[in-house]
Structure 1
Amino acid sequence: MSTQDYSIVLAGHGSRDPAGIAEFMALVDIMRQRAPQRRIYHGFLEFATPTIDQAVAQAIADGANTVVMTPGVLLAATHAKNDMPSELLALQQEHPDTAFHFGAAMDLHPRLLELCRLRIIEAEARSPRTVARGDSCLVVVGRGTTDPDANSEIAKLTRMLEEGMGFGASFVCYSGTARPLVADGLKAASLLGFERIVVLPYFLFDGVLVKRIYGSVDDLAARCPDIEVLAAPYLGVHEHVAEVFLERAQEGVEGRASMNCSLCKYRVQIIGFEQQVGTPQQGHHGKVRGLLAKDNTPAATPAWPPYVPHPIEAESMCIIREGRDWSAFPAEQHTALHRLVHTTGDFSSVDELVFSPGAADIGMRALLRCRRIVTDVTMVETGLKRAVLQQLEVETWCGVHDPETYLLAEAHGLTRSAAGIRRAWEKFGNDVIVAIGDAPTAIMELVRLVREHGWRPQLVVGLPVGFVGTRECKDALRGLLQVPRITNSGTRGGSPWAATIVNALMIDAIGHVYQQQQAAPEA
């Protein structure tokens, strides 16, 4: 079969904004005009229809034996590396007699650079003023992703435009996920002392995010009347974009699709993303696939099963509940207290436990909101119930084996547990629950970061065991009024204790959601 005999499915992201969908379809029309010999279809990952699988099914129904899926996105991030390939793998299984190929994302391309230049010149032409490029600062706004390689492409694009067009300086910011965000980036650019700021949204189509960017540009212009702020058009519907998509499709079917695998966080260990090597390809858009084409009848909320203990565990809990008078303890603490007795086999273990006001309820709700637990050692992490973590979609992170943790510990004379806590502060900010069950040094580093650097974890569970520094670190944690905390006094504790408390909070979180669902029909 000739490599010229194939159909193209342009796989778009999808949008809630009808204008963005209309522009995408207009671009498909240009592709059809420029390649009339080719059957070209389009589908979307989310919100809009047709979906990608519907587009492929139509291509096959029309007689296609070979289909090349081309990502309709600018950069190779999660959508092009995970979501769309996972769709393609599923389609290959569903249609085994069809040959499938995958094209590369657009990435940086000379035609796209030329289109960026055109959009910038259009913005400059709308101004009645004449300002030298050397007196202008270019701000390029990217979408922002969790993939550092894709984010760095925006920085590379910006630098090429700055040097190629002669701007006095340039600045990069993002509409979300990556930093700096748009408002922060525009503010920083306004402080550089330039007469003019040109803002280029590096987006394919109109949509909610583009409108927000232009809103931020208007806000900056109102706040800084002495600076001329120009908003350049986004890339939009243009023959250059259509030509790049057609080129990527041809490369895909010929086996020449090229992606930057040497700096892909899923293939090699990239600084700060080492644990993501080998992450399975799986889609994340099932809940919103084709959403806008569905009727407005609210979908039934998926049943959230309650936590069901093993029969022996359930019997043990009955014995524990009847084994002493629990009325002196607040009800919100009971699950944690009962499970700690279950772990230790000792009713007296709960007598030295200390909860700051509302800590159990705060921790339970934080698990449902931020969904990330940081531990000081792997023993705490492995002690967390896998099934419960999966149901709540909670991520765990332990920095003790992180390469940067090792370097940080060596450079600053810290234990690796303490260095891991410092890494968590830098990496995740405040949206974490911290569980420490082994290292007093980890608690002391956390206390220092809270007091000196304003760190505010959602909850701290500090229950290390031992005789060196253990009492002192727990005393310091009990006096740390800035954060919710659960700890104890004395030398007892350990990784199983810390994991048990967090497991109890997760079980309470499951129960909380389950009760809300059960009460919903009565509301």
Structure 2
Amino acid sequence: MCAQGVFRHEHHADSHAEADVEPNRAGGGEVTSTDAGEQFGIVIAGHGSRDPDGVREFEALVELVCTRAPGHAVTYGYLEFSSPTIEAAVKANLAAGSRQVSVVPGVLLAARHAKNDMPSELQVLARTHTDIDFHFGAPLNLHPQLLQLAQQRIIAAESTSSHTARRAETCLVLVGRGTSDPDANSEISKLARMLEEGMGFGGVYVCYSGTAKPLVADGLRTAARMGFPRLVVMPYFLFDGVLVKRIYAAADALQEREPQLEVIKAGYLGVHPHVADVLIERAREAIAGRAAMNCSLCKYRVQIVGFEEQVGEPQRAHHLQVRGLLTKEESLVSDSMPVPVQPDFLPYVPHPIETESFEIIAAGRDWSGFPPAHLTALQRLVHTSGDFDIADDIYFSPGAIDAGIRALLRCKRVVADVTMVTSGLKRALLEQLGIDTWCGVHDREAHLLSASQGITRSAASIRRAWEKFGNDQVVAIGDAPTAITEATRLIRDHGWRPQLVIGLPVGFVGTREAKDDLKRCLQVPRITNSGTRGGSPWAASVVNALMIDAINHLAGCERASGGE
């Protein structure tokens, strides 16, 4: 049964909904009713989307699961953007009478959402509902039925062509979502190889819609140069959405540029009995204690080249800001509508002693000569240093504070030269804003780079950040002037454009010169000072000031929009 009030029984017109397709029993078979002792509730945890087409298709798939799993309470929820939330879906399942609940990720591959975000939500629910037996299932992964479905989509696309071409003359371009998890990205390459050998393609090329490289546009250009007269472009996605539409638009653009090349667009997986049956199989595996992810190359469990620092990283949610952002009605209307502000941001509330300290600082000197945008950072630096005069020594390039706030809200990453900087950042603000921190001074590749290039580990860490994150970062340097020197070199010689560079190291060797060089580095927003004073607490104070201003800005927007 489907829990009333959460799942709506209605039919959705969809080009991929093939309810009349007979399920492949060799790959899991049709789902039948289970004995009373095997009853359990199923919660399908989706990612969520601002695109109404994606939301409709996800709910159509849930309806199909409900039809093929009679006798089970089936509810659904979303990690971000859409409603209901996963928490609401679990509560609805419990209200339907379930005492055992299998939460199944409605995602294709095991990346951050399935490894961190969803399990962290389930842990909170398990602590709240101690009398309920919760089980967490594996994602869909490369299940044989999904490979068969991909084959069907490709064959259906080929049949739309008026030309006859051998598979050996065709290149398959497989487009994955792209994640920050190399293990999940490699699964797309594995799938591509299986389809290439299994279907006899002459070549295959893998690209991604975001995060991982090569991106779609670069991948299509490269595939077009491989000499095949036909390309079949397939998004390995579950549902329609903004990214799938972009992939198809890129394929259309390639066809227009290269009229001698035939570019065929294959369908994504979509709503299909094979997908529904795999979800039900994952739910049963979880209840039976057989749910398994590929952990042998998981970056959270073993040291993977380039991701060594993430071993043992705690499971925590990264979608608090956008959880349940759109109501069902809003998510089904249009992706062009204004997005409401998440009603969870409250102004920063300092500890009473901190409040008293800043009252003393505010009254301790005349602040009227400073731009209002600089005051939070300046007063926090005074608080950290215990010196009112330090405010006269801080240099802000034009718009540096605004650039830093925008970067924290958009890029959500702070890179530091030493761990003492990241240790000084306010954890509560980092978590509320969803900001990641990274310091490469203990990174294995930074060690190797330092030894081979004869540079300091801090400088090597900055070079690793340039390679690893590109321009999407705020750089906070509080210890090593060599880190500033490396940053300015990369900015001038290699076109690096971090969103903001905070350079406040302490020391006597090269410190003054490095700061002066940063002041002259006109290509990026920057905050620094003169002379030898500074330190990691100073750099951390500036980042904390930016986060406080950012959270107060969001809270102010929320109040202006009518939020509580």
Residues 73 and 96 of structure 2 are in contact (CA less than 8 Å); yes or no, is this contact kept in structure 1? no
Quote the Cα distance in structure 1 between the aligned partners of 2:427 and 2:448.
Answer: 30
Instruction: Give, in whole Å, the separation in 1 of the partners of 2:343 and 2:215.
Output: 34
Q: Take 2:91 and 2:356, find their aligned partners in 1: how far apart are those partners?
A: 53
Aligned residue in 1 for 2:190? 156
Change (3 A) 1:216 1:50: same
Provide the C-alpha distance between the structure 2 equivalents of 1:59 and 1:308, rounded to a whole number of angstroms. Answer: 37
Contact 1:16 1:292 in 2 (8 A): no
Q: Distance in 2 between matches of 1:511 and 1:238?
A: 46
Decide which of 194, 211, 224 is 2:245's aligned counterpart. Answer: 211
Q: Give the drift of 1:57.
A: 5.5
1:395-442 superposed Cα distances (whole Å, 9 cap, x missing partner)? 322211122221221222211000111111112221222121221211
- The percentage of counterpart residues that share the same residue type is 62
Q: Residue by residue, what CA displacement relative to the aligned partner does 1:129-167 show, whole Å, maximum 9, x if unpaired?
A: 122222221111112223221121111101121222222
In structure 1, runs of 5+ residues without a counterpart are none
Q: CA deviation at 1:128?
A: 1.5
The one-letter amino acid of 1:103's match is G
Partner Cα separation in structure 1 for residue 127 and residue 394 of structure 2: 54
CA distance in 2, matches of 1:59, 1:220: 47
Q: Is the contact made by 2:462 and 2:486 (CA closer than 8 Å) also made in structure 1? A: yes
Report the Cα offset of residue 126 of structure 1: 1.5
Following TM superposition, by how much is the alpha carbon of 1:484 offset from its aligned partner in structure 2, in angstroms?
1.6
**Structure 1: which amino acid aligns with 2:469?**
F
Residue type at the aligned position of 2:535: G
Equivalent residue for 2:328? 293
**Structure 1: how far apart are the matches of 2:91 and 2:383?**
55
Maintained 8 Å contact 2:474/2:500? yes
CA distance in 2, matches of 1:32, 1:324: 68
SS in 2 for 1:262: coil
8 Å CA contact 1:43–1:50 kept in 2: the answer is yes
Distance 1:288 1:501 in 2: 29
Matched, 1:495 2:561: no
Q: Structure 1 residue 78 and structure 2 residue 119: aligned?
A: no
Of residues 132-141 and 384-393 in structure 1, the stretch that sits farther from structure 2 once superposed is: 384-393
Q: 1:406 aligns with which of 427, 430, 447?
A: 447
Name the stretch that deviates more: 455-464 or 168-177. Answer: 168-177
Q: Which residue in 2 is equivalent to 1:484?
A: 525
Distance 1:433 1:329 in 2: 23
* CA shift in 2, pair 1:200/1:373, >3 Å: same
Contact 1:471 1:489 in 2 (8 A): yes
The answer as to whether partners of 2:341 and 2:558 remain within 8 angstroms in 1 is: no
Closer, same or farther: CA 299–267 of 1 in aligned 2, 3 Å: same
- Residue 4 of structure 2 is matched in structure 1 by none
- Residues 16-59 of structure 1 show CA distances to partners (whole Å, capped at 9, x for unaligned) of 555545544554565566666x5362413256666655655565
**Segment of structure 1 superposing worse, 472-481 or 238-247:** 238-247
Structure-2 residue corresponding to 1:45: 78
Tell me how far apart the structure 2 counterparts of residues 30 and 256 of structure 1 sit (CA, whole Å).
Answer: 24
Deviation at 1:498, TM superposition (A): 2.5
**Structure 2 residue identity aligned to 1:226:** Q
- 1:418 — aligned with what? 459
Q: How far apart are residue 74 of structure 1 and its match?
A: 1.8
Which residue is equivalent to 2:272? 238
Relative distance call for 1:31 and 1:307 in structure 2 (3 A) is: closer
Q: CA deviation at 1:462?
A: 1.4
Residues 1:460 and 1:209: Cα distance change in structure 2 (over 3 Å):
closer
**Alignment partner of 1:11 is 2:51:** no
Q: Distance in 2 between matches of 1:80 and 1:284?
A: 12
Give the RMSD, CA atoms, in angstroms: 3.4
- State whether structure 2 residue 160 is matched by structure 1 residue 126: yes
Tell me if structure 2 keeps the 8 A contact 1:10–1:72: no
Q: Tell me if structure 2 keeps the 8 A contact 1:139–1:170.
A: yes
In structure 2, the residue matched to 1:360 is 401
What residue in structure 2 maps to residue 264 of structure 1?
Answer: 298
Which amino acid in 2 is paired with 1:402? D
**Contact persistence 2:326–2:339 (CA under 8 A):** no
Distance 1:90 1:133, change over 3 A: same
1:267-316 Cα shifts (integer Å, max 9, x gaps): 22333333333344445556544944368999786374444455555555
How far apart, in 2, do the equivalents of 1:325 and 1:95 lie? 55
Aligned partner of 1:460 in structure 2 is 501
Residue 169 of structure 2 corresponds to 135
Tell me the equivalent position of 1:383.
424
Aligned residues of 2:78 and 2:84 also touching (Cα < 8 A)? no
> In the alignment, is the contact (CA less than 8 A) between 1:352 and 1:489 conserved in 2?
yes
Shift, 1:467, TM fit: 2.2
Deviation at 1:247, TM superposition (A): 3.1
Distance (whole Å) between structure 1 residues aligned to residue 368 and residue 325 of structure 2: 52
Corresponding residue of 2:12: none
SS class of match (1:140): strand
1:392–1:510: 8 Å Cα contact kept in structure 2?
yes
Asked whether the 8 Å contact 2:325–2:342 carries over to 1, the reply is no
2:211 is the alignment partner of 1:180: no
Query: Alignment partner of 1:113: what SS?
Result: helix
Give the letter aligned to residue 233 of structure 1. G
Shift of 1:476: 1.6
Is 1:106 the equivalent of 2:140? yes
